[in-house]
Amino acid sequence: MIRTPIKWPNGARCACAISFDIDADSLIHISRPKDGHDRLYPISMGKYGPTVAIPRILETYRKFGLKQSFFAPGWVVEQYPDAMEMILKDGHEIGHHGYLHEDPTDHGPAEQRAWFERAMDSHKRVIGNNPRGYRAPVYNVNQTVIDLLIEHEFLYDSSLMADDIPYQMKTDQGSLVELPVHWGTDDWPTFAHYAEIDYMMPIVGPSHGLQGFWEEFEAQYTAGGFWLAIWHPFLTGRLARWQQVETWLEGVLNRGDVWFAPLHEIAAHVRAEAAKDSTAVRLEELPYYTRPVLF
């Protein structure tokens, strides 16, 4: 069971969020830099996200009056500004997700800063967005990333897996709220079939593929915890899958005691609860280690 559930607003039993990582076709360009520009199948698969799935997702959110979170690489912001404007116009959040979905841990500190700040510039210059939250490409965070987030006054990260519920991370430089993820609520293992980046998951039917997400929700709902879906528009935004999501959403919202909110609102609530009671939110001190443990 969850140790000490955070008190959610308005007596809600569970806090929930659906977050979409809008990778679009950035994946093929970063994974196949020499010829990715001429691989039309994966480009088209990625483009489905901002051009077809995002309007469908936003229509559902308008139907239910939901505001939620999206994460977009800076390059995707530049390539698909109309989709980004649609998201922001409807009052949703767009967070930082690297520049070209590059793995931060593949680079040294100077390179990481360059990629990170290039993405920040894309958000500000193209759509006037100043991200408050961050999700690392492939969840790969190291201490340099945490330091950059604190330096740039981010409110939260959503890449790590140390708890079932939100917690705080503290360094000598400052603190962040962590809104934890895990692979059980990520659609990549369920639906990704992408040979060019070495992911060949067995594709399953929508009801079977999404069943695990609903089971994860019920466990969090029973425990009074936090349920976070990490989805991709070109995967779960496909028609049959999204119809399943819409049906599930309607049933969950009819319960009347579930709080759906964008991640920045959940993080702000967590920080406020911690300020009122230092024992209400677990604190992790970073860095975990300062040198390899075998030496």
Q: What are phi and psi of 95, to 5 degrees?
A: -100, 170
pLDDT in tens, 39-89: 898 899 999 999 999 999 999 999 999 999 999 999 999 999 999 999 999
The pLDDT of residue 1 is above 60: no
SS3 284: strand
Structural domains of the chain sorted by starting position, each given as residue range(s) with its CATH number in brackets = 14-277 (3.20.20.370)
* Buried/exposed code over 94-123 (b: 16+ C-beta within 10 A; e: otherwise): bbbbbbbbbebeebeeeebbebbeebbebb
pLDDT on residue 203:
82
* Pick from 262, 181, 164: nearest CA to 219: 164
Q: What does the alpha-carbon distance between residue 231 and residue 234 come to, in Å, rounded to a whole number?
A: 9
Mean pLDDT of 271-293: 95
Where does 128-262 have alpha helices with state H?
A: 143-151, 188-191, 206-223, 239-253
Could you tell me the pTM of the whole model?
A: 0.96
Q: What are phi and psi of 175, to 5 degrees?
A: -140, 160
* Residue 278 banded pLDDT, cuts 50, 70, 90: confident
**Lookup: tokens for 259:** 């709080």
pLDDT in tens, 12-34: 999 999 999 999 999 888 888 89
How open is the CA angle 195-58-272, to the nearest 5 degrees?
100
pLDDT on residue 257:
97
pLDDT in tens, 164-209: 999 999 999 999 999 999 999 999 999 988 877 777 777 889 999 9
Mean pLDDT of 100-114: 93
* Pick from 219, 84, 74, 95: nearest CA to 149: 95
Identify the weakest region by mean pLDDT among 42-46, 139-143, 218-222, 271-275.
42-46
pLDDT in tens, 215-266: 999 999 999 999 999 999 999 999 999 999 999 999 999 999 999 999 999 9
SS3 16: strand
**Lookup: tokens for 45:** 């698969």
Q: What does the alpha-carbon distance between residue 211 and residue 193 come to, in Å, rounded to a whole number?
A: 19
Mean pLDDT of 285-295: 92
Q: Is 233:53 a contact under the CB 8 Å cutoff?
A: yes
Q: What does the alpha-carbon distance between residue 187 and residue 126 come to, in Å, rounded to a whole number?
A: 29
Q: What does the alpha-carbon distance between residue 113 and residue 106 come to, in Å, rounded to a whole number?
A: 12
The DSSP letter of residue 38 is: G
